[in-house]
Amino acid sequence: MAAREPDWVPGDAWLAPGYAEWAPPAALRGAVACLWASVVPDGADRTTLVLPDACSDLVWEQGIGGYVAGPDTGPVRTVTKAGTVIVGVRFRPSAGGTVLGLPLSEVRD
């Protein structure tokens, strides 16, 4: 018997070049703002300016592993190598610390 996709995964979800975000399962929506994926196309690195949004993210990046990002107090320029896949969970403002069990001041900026 084939496994069914969870009902909250978009039917057209796949890791194509670009950025996509979608709503989390209903049970997580109090703490989680969105789930997201970013795939940098082959051929050129991507430079992005990340603007502060008071959120923190639990991130997995191909070739690096898992880490926590934010919240940021100012804009941050990032460079991601061509062909990289990144997936993340964005926590609502102030929710990340509770979920991760640490003060957000430890991961700020």
4-15 pLDDT per residue, tens:
545 555 666 566
Position 5 scores a pLDDT of: 47
- CB-based burial, 19-48: b 16+ in 10 Å, e otherwise: ebeeebeeebeeebbbbbbbbbeeeeebee
pLDDT for residue 94: 87
Instruction: Give pLDDT, residue 18.
Output: 87
Residue among 78, 84, 77 at smallest CA distance from 43: 84
In the chain the first and final C-alpha atoms are separated, in Å, by 46
Residues of the chain with pLDDT below 70 are: 1-15
Domains of the chain: 18-96 (2.60.40)
Closest CA to 50 of 77, 22, 27, 31: 77
